[in-house]
Amino acid sequence: MTVLVLGGTGFLGRFLCAELRRQGAVVLSASRRGAGDLTVDLTASVNLTAELSEMMSGVDVVVNLVGLSPIRGYSRSEYLAVQYRGALAAAAAAAAAGVVRLVHVSALGVHRHSAAPYARSKALARRALLPPSAAPRPPQVIIPELALLTGHEGEIARSLRRLAGVARAFGFAIPVPLPRFSTLFQPVAVEDAARRIAGLALEGKGRDTVGVTVEIVGPRVLSMSAIAAEYLEAHNVPVFYLPRQFTPPLVWLLSRIPLPGFPRHLDEMLALRSTG
Ligand SMILES: NC(=O)c1ccc[n+]([C@@H]2O[C@H](COP(=O)([O-])OP(=O)(O)OC[C@H]3O[C@@H](n4cnc5c(N)ncnc54)[C@H](OP(=O)(O)O)[C@@H]3O)[C@@H](O)[C@H]2O)c1
């Protein structure tokens, strides 16, 4: 079976391509900057569907992992171009190329009325790829809704490592907003998510339907503060909890001031409506 992984050079993509190969698939990895087997930019408008369709010739399954980070502060139009219009172009190209199955990776907790443009563009793509939408797409469409991924090379772990390094160097404790802060996550290890998505790509989902969503979550529900505190304490960095009323201004401030270790636009991520 030949699988094309769009976004195959990213954090999840590298694990997924390795897992698919381990399970015997022929894997083609594509990305924007050309680090994979193929290069494609899902925002390039001229002939995109035709270019993608040619790339998909002979491919059985397409997995679309292309996405923009919710905490790097892209514009609303950039999120829409990549995560909505790009996703629809990929689905249309897959349909035109005779691809049997599309696995379109989305995120848990996204909603089209969400405050975060990242989440809105993801939710729009999900709606457009599921019935009753008539958008062109392959006969089988599976939409995994991923919780926050954990792993050494993940964005959150990298940010916290940098922060822990600074804290250790200057010998200070890290203020952490109270764990009761409302946005909750069910983090899942990137290896586990890759295994689950590889299974969906290679075997489908039961009696395949035109569209089905599958939640991919870890065993524990945690706030971002609890995730940060666990990670920092495990790296021998003392933390202290801030009173609850300081949480919104702190998150607002950290989202706008470039501090070493803290992802910018943290508030975008925390604007996801429910457990993600
Ligand atoms: N990481 C998480 O915690 C998490 C949680 C929920 C859902 N997800 C979703 O899972 C998917 C994979 O996430 P990830 O963490 O692996 O993301 P990532 O590390 O940022 O990788 C994104 C991939 O998309 C490619 N890409 C970005 N813009 C592109 C464009 N315009 N055209 C073509 N390719 C483009 C990147 O290629 P270049 O590097 O060449 O630009 C890269 O290969 C995304 O859809 C993400 O929203 C992730």
Residue-wise pLDDT for 99-122, tens only, equals: 999 999 999 989 888 878 999 999
**Average pLDDT of the chain, as a whole number:** 87
Q: What are the residue ranges spanned by the domains of the chain?
A: 2-146+187-216, 153-185+221-270
**pLDDT score for 205:** 82
**pLDDT score for 223:** 82
Q: Measured from the CB, is residue 10 less than 6 Å from ligand 1?
A: yes
Question: Predicted confidence band at 264 (pLDDT cuts at 50, 70, 90)?
Answer: low
Is the CB of residue 78 less than 8 Å from the CB of residue 265? no
Question: Predicted confidence band at 266 (pLDDT cuts at 50, 70, 90)?
Answer: low
- Tell me, in angstroms, the distance from the centre of ligand 1 to residue 10's CA: 5
- Tell me, in angstroms, the distance from the centre of ligand 1 to residue 127's CA: 19
**pLDDT score for 165:** 85
Whether the per-residue pLDDT at 260 is higher than 70: the answer is: no
pTM: 0.90
- Tell me, in angstroms, the distance from the centre of ligand 1 to residue 83's CA: 10
Q: Measured from the CB, is residue 67 less than 6 Å from ligand 1?
A: yes
**Residue located via tokens 């990137």:** 190
- Tell me, in angstroms, the distance from the centre of ligand 1 to residue 244's CA: 33
In CATH terms, 2-146+187-216 corresponds, of 3.40.50.620, 3.40.50.720, 3.90.420.10, 3.40.1350.10, to 3.40.50.720
Question: Predicted confidence band at 224 (pLDDT cuts at 50, 70, 90)?
Answer: confident
Alpha carbon nearest to ligand 1 atom 11, residue: 65
Q: Measured from the CB, is residue 194 less than 6 Å from ligand 1?
A: no
Mean pLDDT of 49-69: 96
Alpha carbon nearest to ligand 1 atom 45, residue: 67
Ligand 1 atom closest to residue 9's alpha carbon, by position in its atom list? 43
Q: Measured from the CB, is residue 213 less than 6 Å from ligand 1?
A: no
**Which pairs from 224-230 meet CB under 8 Å and 24+ separation?**
224/181, 224/183, 224/185, 224/266, 224/269, 224/270, 225/176, 225/177, 225/178, 225/179, 225/181, 226/179, 227/148, 227/156, 227/185, 227/187, 228/160, 228/174, 228/176, 229/176, 229/179
- Tell me, in angstroms, the distance from the centre of ligand 1 to residue 65's CA: 6
